[in-house]
Amino acid sequence: MDLSKKQVTKLVEGCIGNERAAQESLYRHFYAQMLRICYRYLKTKDLAQEALNEGFLKIFQNIKTYDAQKGDLGAWVCTIIIRTAIDFSRKELKFNTEAYDDQDSDDFFIEPTVLSKLYAEDLLKTIQQLPDATRVIFNLSVIDGYSHKEIGEQLNITEGTSRWHLADGKKKLRAWLASPGNSSQPTDNTAI
């Protein structure tokens, strides 16, 4: 359900005026979509909910800076929620800083028959099994489309470290997804 320009203007003005009904309406409109984003970045539902609420607090505190001429309200809200989830996950992240060889391919082939058996929810559950740092970088790069430079700036790591985690994540996912009897869950928790 998209909001019309008139609805967006009314919501934003209401939130700027600290109108409880406008804030609740904005929260309800984006709640489910933004909570799914938080789940992608954080291991537990409690942390995801906490990040979501913190993100909405930031949205309400900074709504006066939203400029409809610069972009969609949904994109603005999404950016704040992603950054908040990253802030939450950054506290727990431990990065492997092994040197990354640019000749290592991060284009891993996964059989189409394997992919056709997966549902989005199963794939997201599998992604959740990646190590924390690798999962965050995988989400930022593959799902949200951030470049390695942008990821490095957000997480205070080098582009090479970002590349390594993405390649490692793709390699692990490929192995998990291609394994015989795939239930879309890793069978060896020590690999995580």
Q: Kind and range of the H or E element at 179?
A: none
pLDDT of residue 189: 42
| Residue 3 per-residue DSSP state | P
Q: Say how far apart CA 165 and CA 146 lie, in whole Å.
A: 14
Work out the average pLDDT over 11-37: 94
> Across residues 136-160, what is the average pLDDT?
89
**Global confidence as pTM:** 0.64
Equal CATH topology for 5-90 and 112-191 = no
Cβ atoms 60, 17 nearer than 8 A: no
Q: What single-letter amino acid sits at 73?
A: L
Q: Which CATH number fits domain 5-90: 3.40.47.10, 3.40.50.300, 3.30.1390.20, 1.10.1740.10?
A: 1.10.1740.10
| Class of 112-191 in CATH | mainly alpha
Q: Residues 73-113: pLDDT tens digits?
A: 999 999 999 999 988 887 766 655 554 555 444 454 555 55
Domains in the chain: boundaries: 5-90, 112-191
3-state SS record for 121-167: HHHHHHHHCCCHHHHHHHHHHHHCCCCHHHHHHHHCCCHHHHHHHHH
